[in-house]
Structure 1
Amino acid sequence: MREKAIDARHIKKKFEKDLALDDISFTIDEGEIFGFLGPSGSGKTTTINILTGQLNFYKGDAVIMGKSSQNLSAEHLEKIGLVSDTSGFYEKMTLYNNLIFYSKFYGIQKSRVDDLLKKVGLYDSRNKVAEKLSTGMKQRMLLVRALINRPKVIFLDEPTSGLDPATSRMIHKLILELKAAGTTIFLTTHDMNEATLLCDNLALLHKGRLVEEGKPSELIQKYNVDKKVIIHYFDGHQKTVAFADLGLVLADELENIVSIHSCEPTLEDVFITLTGGKLNV
């Protein structure tokens, strides 16, 4: 049985009179990719800040790597990586010097920086001044910085936001390599396909409350109430039929059918079913 990397129990957090997190609980195993999904303002960043010791809370308990998040030591913090839209960097320094400065802080060899830059496609751009990098390049630079010290737990807040599909696939490959090496990954994303592909488990957050949690495939099937498929024919037309009627259709029309696709919901559909709202806002 795997150890728990993160254990959050009944967390409540207020900002003055506003309740930002309302009794949320979840656990994350070591080496797991955990998706934390919700629209802007739902409490995702607040949760990350609590788990990384940047915010206190007034009720509940949050433990990361066996230590209370409200009492993390320097030794524990060195085992945590974080990429968010508020991560800062030295704008007037080159991309490379930004990372070399950070590697020296941890006593990490330059070769580690070089290898990571090659993995995210930034090695040839290493001498560009940081302020002149595109949004996607800055995002990749911050990802490399978060990985330099080989963290045991890494928080990735929208890691592929603003990236083209090819670069996003490169980042996905790196995330899966991190998982294979035993890294625990806490991932927020608005890309539901990304969450379905990468996450072992996920939680759906709405207005500070968890509305559903589980494996992506299991959640999709749980809310697949219509049980229908779309049939495409050689003559170009298509039709939707219930699972129960599929056998009869195949018996009568198999020679005319090109393909059959299930009509299962997406994670976006599941979220809308549960809340009436959308994830990508």
Structure 2
Amino acid sequence: MSFSVEEGEFFGILGPNGAGKTTTLEIIEGLRQADAGTVEVLGMSPWPRNPKLLPRIGVQLQASSFFERLTAREQIRTFASLYGIPAKKADDMLTVVGMEDKAGTPAEKLSGGQAQRLSIACALVHDPDVLFLDEPSASLDPQARRNLWDLLRSLNEAGRTVVLTTHHLDEAEALCDRVAIMDHGKILELGPPATLVRGLDSATHISLATGTLSLPAAREVAGPDASVTDDGVTVTIATRAPAPVLTALADRNLLTGIQVRGATLEDVFLHLTGREYRA
């Protein structure tokens, strides 16, 4: 694989389990030696371990590990001390990620989502130029995810380069300037999410509650080139010409409560990587 990330860019790496996302990040971060090829981060090679590069990057690993018996405040102050960062700034970072009320809680008693936020705070405490995040929103509830998105946007808008992997495709679509979709260690597509979605020849799905429109009537409205399905809850018309269908539904006064969904990044992802289960 070969790709570059521009300074100040928000870049996402997407792929199913086992695609090579974490391995790729670990090579870029200097945690793993590449079998072949070259890697350059901020003009420097990350391998072998580069003391000049380490203060300029922040890393949040997929699996976080903290010192036993230390509180959240003690954990982040320990991380901060490695970079010569004062304790006050470390405490402020706990507030940034919404962990100030858990500052005195031992790390082993934090929930999964709280531990994830503490891990991100530790990655940010030294104000790095480039931030690497491996599935940062895993274990977070919807509210915490949205708060994390706001935090990452603000960091990126302040000039930091952010590189993340995620299984949440809505997250990548909302945050990333560009994404690389990979599988089996190779990049399948790379570009802005909106561009990848527009490049997918996908039908528009128009959905109504079952019983609102009979199947024969739905097929009449849909036309010969569309498909109609009924799962017992929703009648869905999949068409590449939605305007005539919506006009026909409007003529029947059936627009109330319908849902119209175009292609998303998830559709692109499934088109490229398939739908089979990955352990």
Further displaced range: 69-78 or 199-208: 69-78
Question: Which residue does the alignment assign to 2:50?
Answer: 73
SS at match of 1:185: strand
Which structure has the larger Rg over C-alpha atoms? 2
The alpha carbon displacement at 1:256 in A equals 4.2
The alpha carbon displacement at 1:252 in A equals 7.4
Q: CA-to-partner distance for each residue in 1:91-138, whole Å, 9 max, x for gaps? A: 211110011122222222333223221222210110001111111111
Unaligned runs of 5+ in 1: 1-23
Match of 2:101 among 117, 124, 133: 124
Further displaced range: 150-159 or 112-121: 112-121
The alpha carbon displacement at 1:278 in A equals 5.5
Q: Kindly indicate whether residue 227 of structure 2 is the aligned counterpart of residue 230 of structure 1.
A: no
The alpha carbon displacement at 1:51 in A equals 0.6
Question: Which residue does the alignment assign to 1:246?
Answer: 243
Unaligned runs of 5+ in 2: 214-234
Structure with greater proportional strand content: 1
- TM-score scaled by length of structure 2: 0.83
The alpha carbon displacement at 1:68 in A equals 2.1
Paired residues, number: 256
Please say if residues 56 and 70 of structure 1, whose CA atoms lie closer than 8 Å, have aligned partners that are also in contact: yes
Aligned counterparts, 1:14-33, within 5 A: 24-33=1-10
Q: Kindly indicate whether residue 272 of structure 2 is the aligned counterpart of residue 274 of structure 1.
A: yes
Match of 2:83 among 92, 106, 113: 106
Letter in 1 for 2:26: N
The alpha carbon displacement at 1:195 in A equals 1.1
The alpha carbon displacement at 1:154 in A equals 0.9
Please say if residues 10 and 156 of structure 2, whose CA atoms lie closer than 8 Å, have aligned partners that are also in contact: yes
CA 1:102 to 1:245, structure 2 compared with 1: closer, same or farther past 3 Å? closer
The 1-side partners of 2:277 and 2:94 are apart by 31
> How large is the RMSD of aligned CA atoms in angstroms?
2.4
The 2-side partners of 1:139 and 1:63 are apart by 28
The 1-side partners of 2:106 and 2:133 are apart by 24
Aligned counterparts, 1:200-239, within 5 A: 200-226=177-203, 228-230=204-206, 236-237=212-213
Q: Kindly indicate whether residue 28 of structure 2 is the aligned counterpart of residue 51 of structure 1.
A: yes
The 1-side partners of 2:158 and 2:246 are apart by 47
- TM-score scaled by length of structure 1: 0.82
Aligned counterparts, 1:156-175, within 5 A: 156-175=133-152
SS at match of 1:240: strand
